[in-house]
Chain A
Amino acid sequence: AQSVTQLDSQVPVFEEAPVELRCNYSSSVSVYLFWYVQYPNQGLQLLLKYLSGSTLVESINGFEAEFNKSQTSFHLRKPSVHISDTAEYFCAVRGGTSYGKLTFGQGTILTVHP
């Protein structure tokens, strides 16, 4: 079984400031890791994923996350946020033996202030 903990339920930041959304997981098997984003009144969208290979993965809109196996973490970072990044972010894990099933964290609401 897997579990995911997002350490911050809400993160307020000012525009153009850096941000880090923290995610830790536990699993007895190898995992695949994901970040999903939910903009207001929209469905969940995949932001980025780690399946294998380079531990640093990037999204097209400037977010990045690094898989750290020793610390069982997959924190999401962006060096400079925009107002449009305001959304709820979910970290999720899929175990090697849990075909397709995603286990999500509780979510972090990122609010970017002007």
Chain B
Amino acid sequence: GAGVSQSPRYKVTKRGQDVALRCDPISGHVSLYWYRQALGQGPEFLTYFNYEAQQDKSGLPNDRFSAERPEGSISTLTIQRTEQRDSAMYRCASSQRSNEQFFGPGTRLTVL
């Protein structure tokens, strides 16, 4: 079956622009997670959903970052007024409840 997909795979934007990153989880997976990975570091938790409910957003660095999962499937991570420090790999994962998390290929965001 299809795994977790993310789009776009690469995004280059100018400082101050808004970006939207999409995650399409494995069909039927209840939980969806967003992580951010800076170069040379491990992934850092941003937020997660069970169905459409955002359960924990404690990892979102500031109010420019938001996420939604309106129908309990596809999720969008939005970054407003991007800054150069937002450049990173953004990773999405999904799971059945608290079991193994399956990761997508990531979106490489570069803010110029």
A contacts, CB < 8 Å to B: 4, 6, 9, 36, 42-46, 49, 90, 92, 94, 99-107
Contacts and interface: CB of A to CB of B under 8 A. Distances in A.
B100 A105 contact: no
A98 to B, nearest CB: 8
Interface residues on B, range: 20 to 34
Given A44-B91, A90-B42, A106-B40, A99 B98 contact: yes
The 3 closest A-B pairs by CB, nearest first: A104-B42, A44-B103, A43-B105
A107 B33 contact: no
A43 to B, nearest CB: 5
A107 B45 contact: no
A34 B44 CA distance: 15
A100 B98 contact: yes
B53 to A, nearest CB: 12
Interface in B37-75: 40-45, 48, 55-56, 59
